C-alpha cells in the first residue's frame, strides 16, 4: 500500500526542544491524515502546554507569515489546539479536515490577541 502524499515542511521544528511536544510527522499515515478538530483551551491548562502552543505559533509565523500554506506534515494534534481560531481553513467551502493537502492560513490579528509573545523576537 502506498502512502498518501504529504508535503514535508523543510526547516520547520519537529518538536519543542527538550520536550515530547511534537510539531511535525515523519511519515504519512497509510489510512490518511488525522482529522483536524477544534480543541477547547481551558484557562487551567498546564504552563508546558501553553509554552508548546506559543512555540508552535512562533514556528508557524516564521515559516508562513500571512501566506496560505499546505497542512502537509504538521501535527494534527498540535494544529487542533489552534484550529478555527488562530489557524483557519483558507477556503472553508472546499476544506477537507482529513487531507494532508488542505490549505490553511493564520489569523494574525487573533494571534496578536491570544499569543502576543509569539511576535517577540528571542
Cα 84 to Cα 75, 79, 101, distances in angstroms: 15, 10, 17
pTM of the prediction? 0.92
Phi/psi at 6 (5° precision): -145, 115
Which pLDDT tens digit goes with each residue over 61-103? 999 999 999 999 999 999 999 999 999 999 988 899 999 999 9
Which pLDDT tens digit goes with each residue over 16-40? 988 889 999 999 998 889 999 999 9
75-100 burial, b at 16+ Cβ within 10 Å, e below that, comes to: bbebbbbbbeebbebeeeeeeeeebb
Amino acid at each position: 500500500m502506498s502512502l498518501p502524499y504529504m508535503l514535508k515542511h523543510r526547516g520547520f521544528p519537529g518538536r519543542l526542544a527538550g520536550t515530547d511536544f511534537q510539531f511535525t510527522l515523519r511519515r504519512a499515515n497509510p489510512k490518511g491524515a488525522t482529522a483536524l478538530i477544534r480543541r477547547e483551551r481551558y484557562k487551567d491548562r498546564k504552563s508546558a502546554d501553553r509554552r508548546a502552543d506559543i512555540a508552535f505559533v512562533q514556528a508557524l509565523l516564521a515559516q508562513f507569515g500571512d501566506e496560505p500554506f499546505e497542512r502537509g506534515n504538521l501535527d494534527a494534534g498540535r494544529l487542533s489546539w489552534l484550529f478555527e481560531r488562530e489557524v483557519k481553513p483558507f477556503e472553508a467551502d472546499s476544506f477537507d479536515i482529513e487531507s494532508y493537502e488542505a490549505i490553511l492560513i493564520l489569523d494574525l490579528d487573533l494571534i496578536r490577541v491570544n499569543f502576543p509573545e509569539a511576535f517577540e523576537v528571542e
